[in-house]
Amino acid sequence: MFLRLSQSHLLILMNKISTTARTTIPNTSFDTKVSEKYTSILSKIENQFKNNYDKSITIDFEGYPIGEEGENLINTLLAKDKSIISLEFLNTRFKDDDELNLVSILEKNTNITTLSLHESKTYFGGFKVIAELIKSNASIQIQNLSFGNLDQGSTQIIAEALKVNSSLKELHLNSGFIRDEGAQAIFNALKTNSTLVELDLSKNYISADSVKYIGESLKNNSTLNVLKLANIYLNDECAIAIADALKVNNTLTELDLGGTGFSTLGAKHIALALRENTALKLLDLSQNTIGIEGFVELNNALKNNTTLTKINLSVNGTDLDMFFDGNYIIADEDSELDEEPAEKYNENEFLTEYSEIRKICQRNSEKELLLANALPVLQVLNPEIPKDIANLLVRELLTTEADAATLQRIGNLV
């Protein structure tokens, strides 16, 4: 999501989107006096206004707390341009009083929907205020607390806030110090939270002890679309629990299990789940050790799967990079491994199985495009059909009809 990127990356991305509506560049002259330590901060803010095409402002407080002076600066900034919807703080030291300054800022500027404290230092008292913000602020939809100093206690108070929040759509908690108890609190909160659609817990200190909580939350949650658990040690037991949950979960569309430490056994159970799951579109199993048997199981399981369009199987007992995103396959024989494959492998075997998996994803991508095009046609032909029913009818046709001519006729209706 662009909301987690820096200002420079956002600018590059948004300039590539031809339909982007550029905001009117406001008067960048700030009628405010600041102390010497805030002079460079003000200068950076003014420079961002000159290139503000993405409605997002990043503020680097250079290690200082916000303070009253910083709060006045931000309020002046936001008063100049009411189109700003994303506020990112870099290198900012948050304590209790500074969080209160932040709450005050957000209360006065309800158009802000994205708050990022990426790489900022927030202390326990500050997290308590953030938790209260999650509970009460109805406008914030995305919070990025990645690369922060979230620990067990602060994670638990964030989890309690999630139980009652009714607006937050995305929560990024990756690359922190979250351990099992904190993760378990987050997963328990997902059982009752009905608004969160994306959760990123990658690169934390979560272990397989959290396996039960992950599985139970996925079985009970009906809103989460994206779950990222990359580079945390979960092992085969956890893969089995997640696989069992995937058999009944029909909302998760993206799952990242890259580098989670499971082997062929875990892959087999994930494969069995894909025989029944009808929602997952993107699956990342890279940096594990599923081996050729895992490839075979996935290939066999996906033959009747109609939804998976993207899969990443890079470096699973091979030195080949294998990622298919619906359009292309990479098989780079010169890719480097941190470690040599544990066993000798037959490169052709891997590529043969992966080629079949690639074809399945390509087929599903094409069907997904047909579905997107055919659905409006069906609704025009019979407007009384509810959208969800029309979706099921078209998907059933694409699932059961083997005649390519029929599929082509659907495409010709567009």
Domain that holds residue 384: 366-412
Backbone angles phi, psi at 243, to 5 degrees: -60, -45
Buried b (16+ CB within 10 A) or exposed e, 382-394: eeeeeeeebbeeb
The top-scoring range by mean pLDDT among 9-13, 18-22, 323-327 is 323-327
Q: What is the model's pLDDT at position 95?
A: 63
Tokens of 392: 């099921």
Q: What is the model's pLDDT at position 236?
A: 92
Q: Of the candidates 117, 152, 184, which is a domain's last residue?
A: 117
Q: Which of 307-311, 357-361, 368-372 has the lowest mean pLDDT?
A: 368-372
Determine, yes or no, domain membership for 225: no
Nearest to 257 by CA among 242, 279, 247: 242
pLDDT beyond 50 at 25: no
Q: Which of 123-132, 172-181, 270-279, 304-313 has the lowest mean pLDDT?
A: 123-132
Q: What is the model's pLDDT at position 87?
A: 87
Q: What is the model's pLDDT at position 4?
A: 42
Determine, yes or no, domain membership for 136: no
Mean pLDDT of all residues in 183-205: 94
Q: Of the candidates 96, 117, 138, which is a domain's last residue?
A: 117
For the chain, what is the mean pLDDT?
A: 76
Determine, yes or no, domain membership for 193: no
Determine, yes or no, domain membership for 337: no
Mean pLDDT of all residues in 68-95: 80
For residues 142 and 148, give the distance between their C-alpha atoms in angstroms, rounded to a whole number: 16
In this prediction the pTM is 0.77
- Strand, coil or helix: what is 349? helix
Q: How many helices (H) and strands (E) does the chain have?
A: 14, 13
The radius of gyration computed from the CA coordinates of the chain, to the nearest angstrom, equals 24
What stretches of 163-263 show up as alpha helix (H) in DSSP? Answer: 180-190, 211-220, 235-246
Tokens of 26: 């406001």
pLDDT tens-digit profile of 169-186? Answer: 999 999 888 999 999 999
Tokens of 55: 């409605």
Q: How many domains does the chain have?
A: 2
β-pairing, 323-324 vs 310-312, is: antiparallel
Query: Is the separation of the CB atoms in 223 and 250 below 8 Å?
Result: no
112 Cβ contact partners less than 8 Å away, ≥ 6 residues apart: 78, 84, 85, 86, 87, 106, 139, 140
User: Where residue 331 falls among pLDDT bands split at 50, 70, 90?
Assistant: very low
Determine, yes or no, domain membership for 313: no
Determine, yes or no, domain membership for 203: no
Backbone angles phi, psi at 198, to 5 degrees: -140, 130
pLDDT tens-digit profile of 221-267? Answer: 999 999 999 999 888 999 999 999 999 999 999 999 999 988 999 99
Q: What is the model's pLDDT at position 257?
A: 95
